[in-house]
Amino acid sequence: ADLVAGPIRGSLVTPGVLAVGAPWSSDPSSGVSRSVEATLPPPWTGPNRAQVEVYLPPGYDTDTTRRYPVVYSVPYNRQTWDRGMDFTTTMDGLIASGDLPPMIVVFASSAGGPYVDPECSDSRDGREWFDRYVAKTLVPWADATFRTIATPAARTVMGSSRGGYCAVSLITHHPDLFSNAISLSGYFIAGLPSSETIGADLVFGQDPAYERTQSPMLRVDGIAVALRRRLFVVMEADPAGHVFGNQMLEFAQVLDQAGVPEALFPTRLGHSWNGARAILPLALRLVAARQVSLGVFGASG
């Protein structure tokens, strides 16, 4: 009842994609997940370090030869996701049941820098460089520290609300690093004023020209044609226009015209964690099915 008509799959997403084999389902991981906390050099001026928390799935400590796909969650910490949608318990259950493959989730918080809402971007004034930090510091650190499958197809970036913007911003800036993005109740235009993005234009120096260079809606055409079909964007929003829902439909058209595969989940859940709770498991399953078709899990053992 919460879905309007979804999922509405884009024209470039193969019908029946969920019917592909799930090589992990016959041997689901056992055990419990655990969390690792770390601090990294900050992507901003000032004394505060960057806080990172990593979800290691059930089975990570028992099968020491296995490698895992990675989801990068920005810009909120794991506690925010646990409060919003009981993330850790939900993931443990989905992995234990074989509904999802075991995966590593890296939570990268943007809290601590000079901007309240940095949009996961490199600021116009040079005081914050979160986008560059994710690409040049966070991903290499995760690959060097954990047993990741270190390929673009095995990497997903996801987020809710502001994080939904961050996810598509990062994949359009770094299509050679991330192949998948999940945007939950997100938006796609930089610096857009609304009740949910107070001060979001400050990181861009309130410079319309710079905002245009950062807007995912306007960046898709700049992605190399050879990379476009390798990408996959999953979106959830309330299409009634609640805050950002109408932008999802517009961005889907941009992706379709550019030849980027996408999947839409229109809901009646407004701008809330309810959308993430309802859609994230299926969004991750869609990404995993696509990864199966690309041979990602052949690199996991």
| Contact yes or no for 259/228 (Cβ under 8 A) | yes
Nearest Cα to Cα of residue 16 among 297, 293, 296, 227: 293
Is the pTM higher than 0.85? yes
CA pair distance 219, 288, nearest whole angstrom: 26
Q: Tell me which DSSP letter residue 118 carries.
A: -
SS percent in the chain: helix, strand, coil, step 5? 35, 20, 45
Instruction: Map tokens 């945007």 to a residue.
Output: 183
Q: 273-293 vs 87-96: helix axis angle to the nearest 10?
A: 30
pLDDT score for 24: 79
Architecture of 8-296 per CATH? 3-Layer(aba) Sandwich (3.40)
The three-state secondary structure class of 35 is: strand
Q: In tens digits, what is the pLDDT along the chain, a chain of 301 residues? A: 454 444 554 444 444 455 456 787 766 677 789 999 999 988 888 877 889 999 999 999 998 999 999 999 999 999 999 999 999 999 999 999 889 999 999 999 888 788 888 888 989 998 999 899 999 999 999 999 999 999 999 999 999 999 999 999 999 999 999 999 999 999 999 877 666 666 778 888 888 899 999 999 999 999 999 999 999 999 998 877 656 767 888 999 999 999 999 998 888 888 889 888 999 999 999 999 999 989 998 855 4
**Which residues, listed in sequence order, are joined to residue 106 by a DSSP beta bridge?**
54, 72
Domain ranges within the chain, ordered by starting residue: 8-296
Could you tell me the end-to-end alpha-carbon distance of the chain, in angstroms, rounded to an integer?
40
Question: 71 near 158, Cβ under 8 Å?
Answer: yes
Spatial neighbors of 24 by CB under 8 A, at least 6 apart, are: 98, 100, 101, 102, 297
